[in-house]
Structure 1
Amino acid sequence: MQAEAASRPTLADVAARAGVSPSTASLAFSGSGPVSDATKERVLAAASELGYAGPDPRARSLRRGRSGIVGVVLEERVRAAFLDPVKIQMLDGISEGIASLGAGLLLLTDTGAEGENAVSIESAPVDAVVLIGCSPRLADSIEALRRRGIPAVAIEGATGEDIPEISIDNRAATRRGAEYLRELGHTRVAIVTLPVDAARTRGPITDELLRASTAATASQRLAGAREIFPTAGGRVAGASSIEEGLEAARALLADPAERPTAIIAQSDLLAAGVIQAAEELGLAVPADLSVLGFDGIRVDGLQHDLTTLAQPSVAKGRAAGEAVVQLLSGEPPASRCFTSTLHVGDTTARPLHPASDPPGIR
């Protein structure tokens, strides 16, 4: 390997072959200086003859003190993130926000996976990081970045005063959705939450699990729902996915005597799974079961216009990217909070058999 590296042509070799100085050869490659077309052609021809591909970008990064890379930390594996339209919209927004940097995006995960050659938040060569979405491991990621001195922006989550947060009105928005269900006459309401802990524990919503919660988004949305339905129980999902919503709703709808007339799902993907579970049981949505989501996305295969709390995902991502640009220019950005809107679709209606005394739905 060392012999191979030693035999590789260098920029100095190219300059000597072309009969120019190394600085002129460098300018010819970068296109950033006053080099004539004839000289540039001579340098590129010499490089081609020697098999020289160009200056090492790692050396250029060292000279600039920047890698030209912005990290984006996802709460799940990349494949799962690309199945979530909310994550895709936020990534689009981040790309727009950092466009002026000319930087690339490096996708990382905070799943806790480790390996000898793994590129992680602990080792990735990044100039700054955007922490995306609802993660129960947010505090761990923030601590790792603080140790490294890497500037960061968080999209949702309790970050501390030194890290700007791009957030939405999770609690107030969910309260508005819950109020709408109450106005329709629902009292038997259950909730399907996003993951609340790093282990992604599934099961009934319990006080013990909520005390151990490290996920601000899930906790805020639950608090908003319980402002209207204080005794509402439900299930904690292991991820924001149709499959997890399906599993949670099967448990909630299994006993006809305890079935809710409405389910508040903390994401539209979870809501789509709830609807699928209802249809498996022969329940009509919204006649037998009203379903409220959160996000405002289009879910492939869903044959309903979902009633949901629509959030501005692209705008959130763009704001995070713009905050990164400010951080890298030495200008401290301010945190921002966006507002969600209630979209009334065809998955909510008045309950057929309203009850005055809601059961303890678990």
Structure 2
Amino acid sequence: MPPTRQTRAGRRPTLRDVARRAGVSTSTASLVFSGKGPVASGTAERVRTAAADLAYAGPDPLASSLRQGRVGTVAVVVEGPLRYAFHDPFALAILDGLAEELDAAGRSMLLVAQPVEDPERAVAQLATQAVDAAVFPLCGERDNPVVDHLLARGVPLVGSGAPVHPGVAHVLTDEAAAMALTTRHVLNLGHRRLAHLTMPLRAGAPTSRVTEPDVAGATYPDAAGRLAGFRALAGPDAPVVQAHDLTVEAGEAAARILLDVPDDERPTAIVAQADLLAAGAVRAAEARGLRVPGDLTVTGFDGVDLPWLDHVLTTVDQPGAEKGRRMGRLVRHALEGRPVRDEPFPVRLRVGTTSAPPPSPR
């Protein structure tokens, strides 16, 4: 078959087109062209044949030359649509802090959306971009194909707990220990009927009660770690419901599952994995005529400002802007040639107006 210089009219072939034609991932095709990764000879030959068929000559030579020096741009990889990140006050705080630190270093941010249903798309986008470093600021899935692609190019990587890879330096919150702060606080108030409201444990998870297969199949390290911290104190039999998304509405829908039970089985405290989910739990409780905290204690996680909520959440205070700045400093150190490694990020319990002792038996 003669070489075809365009996959469609008016469009030049891309690395992603080559990968599809060869039947491999975009990251594997990238490793073949970089020559910096272990790829089976048969696989490499398929990639080169597909490239020849499509008349794909390799990564853009200008970008390749720029990568030998510094271009002043740091890729910021956000899993899911970018609009979700801009609706989450904790995510916004992290991005603000990260931007502040990178701006002070004279570097700009390239926001890269990575659809959860097609993570390879981000690899294809980055294959044509010259970047000095990359950051995964919002803890996503344990594994990410972008990592191998960028490490093969010698790009320093920084994250906040995921992707889990020895080549990524993290600003790490001890998720289990942090979740234990609110769980222990609730137990010390005298609550014994505790329930847990989690973030999604994996991509595409529905709002539902969590089963052991859900726990075993969790791919989001932050959610899995917080669940482990809760269970270590509350016990394995405490009811757990996961929300399908990190929004107030998703939290409200998940909390309804916990609250729609007979009165003598209803939890007296809901320990949530995020402030937005906790705000949803407050809404669900008040819609049922329950008083917070008189009838139901609700706790959150992150410590974001929710001025529209008629309560001050008891929560784990995790300053997002400072976490973003810490990641930005790791990037700066890596680009200065300094060794970087995981560093812990401290959090604290902040007691608000949504926690109190359980109601007296009637």
Instruction: Give the gaps of 5 or more residues in structure 2.
Output: 1-61
2:270 counterpart of 1:243: no
Tell me which amino acid in the other structure corresponds to 2:208.
G
Deviations 1:40-79 (A, max 9, x none): xxxxxxxxxxxxxxxxxx7998397333211111233111
Q: Percent identity?
A: 38
Q: Secondary structure at the match of 1:70?
A: strand
- Counterparts of 1:165-314 in structure 2, within 5 Å, are 165-230=170-235, 231-257=237-263, 258-314=265-321
Residue 63 and residue 75 in structure 1: after superposition, are their counterparts in 2 closer, same or farther (change >3 A)? closer
Q: CA deviation at 1:81?
A: 0.7
What's the TM-score once normalised by structure 1's chain length?
0.76
- Output one character per residue of 1:228-269: Cα deviation in whole Å (capped at 9) or x when no partner: 101222111122211110110111111234311110110001
One-letter code of the match for 1:309? V
Counterpart of 1:86, as a letter, is F
Residues 112, 226 of structure 1: alpha-carbon distance in 2 compared, 3 angstrom cutoff: closer
**2:42 maps to which residue?**
none
Shift of 1:151: 1.6
Cα distance between partner residues in 1 of 2:219 and 2:321: 25
- Which has the greater radius of gyration? 1
Match of residue 351 from structure 1: 358
Partner of 1:160: 165
Q: Name the structure 1 match of 2:8.
A: none
Moved more, 82-91 or 199-208: 199-208
Other structure's SS at 1:107 match: strand
Aligned AA for 2:286? Answer: E
Partners in 2 of 1:316 and 1:166 — Cα distance? 7
Contact 1:164 1:334 in 2 (8 A): yes
CA distance in 2, matches of 1:177, 1:344: 9
Per mean C-alpha deviation after superposition, the further-off stretch among 290-299 and 233-242 is: 233-242
Task: Identify unmatched segments of 5+ residues in structure 1.
Answer: 1-57, 356-362
Which residue is 2:349 aligned to? Answer: 342
Match of 1:125 in 2: 130
CA RMSD of aligned residues (A): 2.5
Q: Provide the rounded CA distance (Å) in 1 between the counterparts of 2:168 and 2:122.
A: 29
Q: Deviations over 1:141-173 (max 9, x none)?
A: 433433444221011236233221101122112
Q: What secondary structure, in the 3-state scheme, does the structure 1 residue paired with 2:301 have?
A: strand
Point out the more displaced range, 164-173 or 59-68.
Answer: 59-68
Give the letter aligned to residue 288 of structure 2.
Answer: L
Q: Which one of 321, 331, 336 corresponds to residue 338 of structure 2?
A: 331
Preserved CA contact (<8 Å) 1:109 1:120: no
Query: 2:183 is aligned with what amino acid?
Result: A
The answer to whether the 8 Å contact 2:123/2:146 transfers is: no
CA contact (8 A) 1:61 1:68 kept: no
Report the Cα distance in structure 1 between the residues aligned to 2:278 and 2:88, rounded to whole angstroms: 13
Quote the Cα distance in structure 2 between the aligned partners of 1:127 and 1:354.
61
Paired amino acid for 1:267: A
Query: In the TM superposition, what is the alpha-carbon distance from 1:322 to its structure 2 partner?
Result: 0.9
Does the CA contact (< 8 Å) of 2:75 and 2:134 recur in 1?
yes
- Asked whether the 8 Å contact 1:134–1:218 carries over to 2, the reply is no
Give the aligned partner of residue 82 of structure 1: 86
Shift of the alpha carbon at 1:275?
Answer: 0.6
Superposed displacement of residue 353, structure 1:
4.1
Structure 1 pair 195–136 and aligned structure 2 pair: CA distance change class (3 A)? farther
| 2:156 aligned residue | 151
Is 1:106 aligned with 2:110? yes
Q: How far is 1:109 from its partner?
A: 2.1
Query: Would you say the 8 A contact 1:71–1:126 is kept in 2?
Result: yes
Is 1:316 aligned to 2:323, yes or no?
A: yes
- SS in structure 2 of the partner of residue 239 of structure 1: coil
Amino acid at match of 1:85: P
- Indicate conservation of the 8 Å contact 1:185/1:354, yes or no: no
Q: Distance in 2 between matches of 1:63 and 1:207?
A: 46
